[in-house]
Amino acid sequence: MADMARDELDIRAAARLTGRSTETVRRWVWSGRLRARKLGKRLFVLRSDVEALAGSQQTKPLSLTEWRATANKILRRSAAGKSASDLVLADRRERSGELDARR
């Protein structure tokens, strides 16, 4: 039982270990992706479970530059170079034409 206690981490320690926020670790517990036990008001998880889950989600956060490049690629593919605002304006023009035709 002593080995089990040393292998347990509280939510804050699990977040530090994975480089995620405490809220993310709590969501893993609430969604059932990570087993936990409650002791008083604190949740404890097994280090091995946290490492396994974090290892299966090895995606480093994107920098703003990387995110922008990815978003631009998606926009170019999906909208033939149109920006989101172009799509919204086109939709508004279509809708206003429909409203004028109904009157």
Domain positions in the chain are 2-56, 64-102
Query: Which stretches does DSSP call E strand in the chain?
Result: 8-10, 37-39, 42-46
Going by pLDDT thresholds of 50, 70 and 90, the confidence category of residue 103 is low
- CATH domain 2-56 topology: Multidrug-efflux Transporter Regulator; Chain: A; Domain 2 (1.10.1660)
15 near 34, Cβ under 8 Å?
no
14 near 45, Cβ under 8 Å?
yes
Which pLDDT does position 99 carry in this prediction?
54
Q: Does the pLDDT value for residue 88 go beyond 50?
A: yes
What is the pTM for the complete model shown? 0.51
Which pLDDT does position 79 carry in this prediction?
54
Q: Which of 5, 1, 2 is nearest to 44 (CA)?
A: 5
pLDDT tens-digit map of 27-71:
999 988 899 999 999 999 999 999 888 876 655 666 788 878 877
